[in-house]
Structure 1
Amino acid sequence: MKNLLTLLFMIACFAVFNAQQSIVPSVKYEELEKRIQQEGDKLLVVNFWSTTCAPCVKELPHFMEVNNKHADNPKFKMLLVSLDRLVDKERVMKFIKNKNLTAEVILLDDIKRMNTWIPRFEKDWDGNIPVTLFYKNGEKIHFNDGEMSKEELENVIIKNLL
């Protein structure tokens, strides 16, 4: 009985630690830029997406598979940056729950200045999503414009995670 209780406790703890986030913080570009710098020597995968973007929604299950595969690696972090409007924050929360998003999600509430921050992330980014940027030590090491397959995502991660 004691072993059963211990096992149930461990399962409950695992579920709590792997629970989806209950709050989606909204940030401005400068806060996101600072966050990217703070991740240090981790390989940081930053995906810009929206709940209303069909290619974004299509690729997210691949991103979650890859995120779950590397979640225990202290040198890896995935950040999903929603470009949904702030008034649609509740829809984003429901989307996270319904799609079982396990990576951290933030809402970039800075659409009015997008012509300023988009070229600061990537000069070749035309503003379309999905877009995925890869950083290490705060430096951009890879830019992917458009939908990524699971294989493409894994290849970039494996190449740069060393």
Structure 2
Amino acid sequence: MATFNAQQTEVPSMKYEDLEKRIQKENDKLLIVNFWATTCAPCVKELPHFMELNNQYKDNPKFKMILVSLDRLVDKERVIKFIKNKNLTAEVILLDDVKRMNTWIPKFEKNWDGNIPITLFYKNGEKVHFNDGEMSKEDLEKTIKDNLQ
């Protein structure tokens, strides 16, 4: 299994079903899934906290972070540049499925109104926490600590 501690130079684009499968692969971990976009100011603002904690826990086999970009497929190069410029060390996936947003958003979280950023926390395959909006470093740290036992 490839590790993503180094920066990605390529970003896989996938549909909802593929992302769902990708999430299920991590069913023995605390998995953090953050939905963001390069054009979303609060998303960009919170990412350094996510990277700090991702780097802190990267050697923990029970921890995994995935950043799901909702940028358009035509903007994929911008996402790749962003990864490099912002030193994103978590795994980045481009969710190329905008047309079906109303189908998959409620599958992830019934209280999600479609705005980003949002962060979902799964533990052993079960969703344990939903954070709507920007997440402070303290909240992120606490949610990780509370669930990483």
TM-score by length of structure 1 reads: 0.89
Aligned equivalent of 1:146, options 133, 142, 147: 133
Q: Does 1:42 align with 2:43?
A: no
Alignment of 1:56-135 (within 5 A): 56-135=43-122
Sort the Cα spacing of 1:93 and 1:159 in 2 relative to 1 into closer, same or farther, 3 A: same
Aligned residue pair count: 147
Per-residue deviation, 1:18: 3.7
Q: CA RMSD in A?
A: 1.2
SS at match of 1:80: strand
- Give, in angstroms, the shift of residue 41 of structure 1: 1.4
Partner SS, residue 35 of structure 1: helix
Please identify the structure whose Cα radius of gyration is greater: 1
**How far 1:93 moved relative to its partner?**
0.3
Dislocated runs of 4+, deviation >6 Å: none
Other-structure match for 2:123: 136
| Alignment gaps of 5+ in structure 2 | none
Are the equivalent residues in 1 in contact too, given 2:38–2:71 (CA < 8 A)?
A: yes
Distance 1:81 1:64 in 2: 14
User: Does the 8 Å CA contact 2:5/2:90 hold for their aligned counterparts?
Assistant: no
Kindly provide the CA deviation profile for residues 56-113 of structure 1, in whole angstroms up to 9, marking residues without a partner as x: 0000000000000000000000000000000000000000000000000000000000
Relative to its length, the structure with more helix (as a share) is 1
